[in-house]
């Protein structure tokens, strides 16, 4: 928490919305190449914390750190410029577009030359890069060109993760990635998280799936009523430990 290299994190952040203190003293640190899980009961402030790290909210006090430097983010584009990307709960994918088109939504390259000035897409390059990106994450899909709504939930999640990884260079933030998935698909996503981390990016995951996240994460940070109540290596913790901390039995223990 002190001198660990931090690709993304925050220290003693507080945030209030009207009369509600969403965050009081939140600290989380994500080192490069590690998966950090953020857990907590409903209303603990996980969502707010995520949005603060992404620049959607601005903290009332405390600091946000990206790549070991304190930053002041004004909006999502600032975070994206610093190499941060996120996989939101709703995935933000366009159901009718293909995998390739979705991967490049907002970043689509043009064909070189005159055709490019007409706005023609270089779909060949897009397909090649998509293929490479998916391969690097060991994601296997039956087709890259069908509309994405024809893929299963887990496959769509995988594409959303792959997209975030493709366009981020520092860290990937994930909000409840396994919430809507079955067992097999959740496993695939957790394996993905490890693969992403293994490429050197930091991964911050917000999750309710305690058993699975204990397996997948390196470090667990527990949020209770807007405060960081616990931060410890996953290997030292069990599910009952987490549940107890989440409901407030053990504050500040580490």
Interface residue with another protein among 134, 161, 201, 234 (CB under 8 A) is 134
Distance CA 146, CA 251 (A): 50
81 binds another protein (CB under 8 A): no
Burial of 81 (0-12, 13-18, 19+ CB in 10 A): exposed
180 binds another protein (CB under 8 A): no
146 binds another protein (CB under 8 A): yes
191 binds another protein (CB under 8 A): yes
245 binds another protein (CB under 8 A): no
Q: How far is CA 230 from CA 1, 6, 40, 117, in A?
A: 12, 18, 10, 54
Burial of 246 (0-12, 13-18, 19+ CB in 10 A): buried
89 binds another protein (CB under 8 A): no
What are the DSSP calls for 4-24, one per residue? Answer: S--SEEEEEEEEEETTEEEEE
125 binds another protein (CB under 8 A): no
141 binds another protein (CB under 8 A): yes
Q: In angstroms, give the least distance from the CB of 184 to another protein.
A: 7
CA dihedral 3, 214, 46, 67 (to 10 degrees): 30
> 220 with 230: CB under 8 angstroms?
yes
How many residues contact another protein, by CB under 8 A?
A: 49
Segment 8 to 67, residues that bind another protein, using CB under 8 A? none
Distance CA 201, CA 64 (A): 17
Interface residue with another protein among 50, 73, 151, 173 (CB under 8 A) is 151
Q: Rounded to the nearest 10 degrees, what angle do helices 183-198 and 153-167 cross at? A: 10
At a CB cut-off of 8 Å and minimum separation 6, what does 211 contact?
239
Interface residue with another protein among 77, 112, 238, 247 (CB under 8 A) is 77
Residue range at the interface with another protein (CB under 8 A); choices 9-17, 98-106, 170-178, 236-244:
98-106
User: Closer CB to another protein, residue 126 or residue 230?
Assistant: 126
Interface residue with another protein among 20, 68, 70, 94 (CB under 8 A) is 94
Footprint of another protein (CB under 8 A): 77, 80, 88, 90-97, 101, 105-108, 110, 118-121, 123, 131, 134-136, 138-146, 150-152, 154-155, 184-185, 188, 191-192, 194-195, 198-199
């Amino acid at each position: 928490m002190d001198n660990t290299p931090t690709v993304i994190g925050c220290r003693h952040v507080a945030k209030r919305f009207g009369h509600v203190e969403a965050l009081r003293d939140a600290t989380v640190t994500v080192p490069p190449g590690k998966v950090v899980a953020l857990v907590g009961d409903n209303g603990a402030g996980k969502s707010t914390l995520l949005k603060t790290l992404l620049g959607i909210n601005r903290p009332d006090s405390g600091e946000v750190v990206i790549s070991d430097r304190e930053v002041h983010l004004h909006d999502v584009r600032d975070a994206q410029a610093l190499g941060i990307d996120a996989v939101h709960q709703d995935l933000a994918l366009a159901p009718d577009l293909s995998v390739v088109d979705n991967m490049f939504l907002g970043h689509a390259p043009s064909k070189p030359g005159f055709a490019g000035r007409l706005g023609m897409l270089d779909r060949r390059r897009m397909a090649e890069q998509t293929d490479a990106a998916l391969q690097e994450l060991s994601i296997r899909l039956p087709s890259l060109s069908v509309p994405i709504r024809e893929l299963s939930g887990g496959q769509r999640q995988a594409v959303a993760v792959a997209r975030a990884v493709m366009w981020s260079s520092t860290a990937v933030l994930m909000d409840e990635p396994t919430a809507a998935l079955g067992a097999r698909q959740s496993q695939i996503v957790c394996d993905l998280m490890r693969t992403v981390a293994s490429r050197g990016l930091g991964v911050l995951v917000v999750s309710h799936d305690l058993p699975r996240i204990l397996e997948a994460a390196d470090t667990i940070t527990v949020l209770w009523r807007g405060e960081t109540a616990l931060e410890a290596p996953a290997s030292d913790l069990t599910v009952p430990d987490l549940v107890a901390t989440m409901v407030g039995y053990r504050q500040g223990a580490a």
